Amino acid sequence: MKNRYRYMMVIMTLLAILSALYTYTRVNDEIAVHWGRNGEADGYAPKQLLLLFPFLIPAFDLLLKLLFRLEPRKRNMQKSSSGYAVIRLVIGAILCVCTIFTCLEALYPKKININIVAPFMVGIMIMIIGNVLPKIHSNYIIGIRNPWTLENEDIWRKTQRLSGRLWFGGGALICILALVLPDWYSMLLIFIIFLIILLPNLYAFYLYQQMRKEKAHD
């Protein structure tokens, strides 16, 4: 798993570097880096910024590695190593895809509908994370972390299980809405993300209150 993970990270980094170098030699002084609600580019930056994008992939990966090593519950981290590897790969893949789409937009302006591409990518990322959440053991870095889930392993497990379903379903819904209602994606995206974060936290609080009532009756 570790070797396969490393190969994939190297491939994504090299792909981003090649895309950035190819684009850098073929565009003018500026590239689009921000788009408005209508999908039109409204923010630009020097094309030299392209050369920095690929190195965000290993930089974020190193940052996550550092955070994982600082995690107090190291035994749980080891139990969840495959899940953490998937999340790191997802972040690397998103950064790689963002670099490639930035390059494509610079090479072929207005050929890509950012109102579809951006939320679709977010939806895919949320779906993958949702699939991983139930496999993550209690920790302070990844998952639905609050005083109730961190205090009780059973509450943690049940909350992450619900979160996984909500995140997977929410991500799939975001992907569908990106294709069907691209002009409304920003408002819908915020609303869906708000729900899939709020509901698991409320559920964890409910489980904690139920646990306290059961202990009081004993």
Write out pLDDT tens, residues 150-181: 999 999 999 999 999 999 999 999 999 888 87
Percent of residues, the chain, with pLDDT higher than 90: 42
Q: Say which residue the tokens 């790689």 belong to.
A: 96
- Which residue type sits at 25? T
Three-point CA angle 166, 167, 171, nearest 5°? 120
Q: Which residues contact 17 (CB under 8 A, 6 or more apart)?
A: 54
Q: What is the pLDDT of residues 33-63, one digit of tens each?
A: 777 666 677 778 888 888 899 999 999 999 9
Phi and psi, residue 158, nearest 5°:
-65, -40
What is the structure's pLDDT at 144?
92
Query: Could you give the count of Cα atoms lying within 13 Å of 74 in the half-sphere of its Cβ?
Result: 4
Give the pair of three-digit tokens for residue 161: 């299980």
pLDDT value of position 2: 63
Mean pLDDT of the chain: 87
Can you tell me the distance from the alpha carbon of 196 to that of 199, in angstroms, rounded to the nearest whole number?
A: 6
Q: What letter represents residue 84's amino acid?
A: Y
Quote the DSSP letter at residue 28.
-
Q: Which carries the bigger pLDDT value, residue 38 or residue 200?
A: 200
Q: CA 170 to CA 124: how far, in whole Å?
A: 10
According to DSSP, the β-strands at 41-46 and 30-35 are antiparallel
Q: What are the Cα distances from residue 111, in Å, to 97, 138, 149, 155?
A: 16, 44, 46, 47
Please tell me the number of Cα atoms within 13 Å of 12 on its side-chain side: 25
Task: Tell me how far CA of residue 133 lies from CA of 51, 101, 158, 214, in angstroms.
Answer: 33, 28, 11, 27
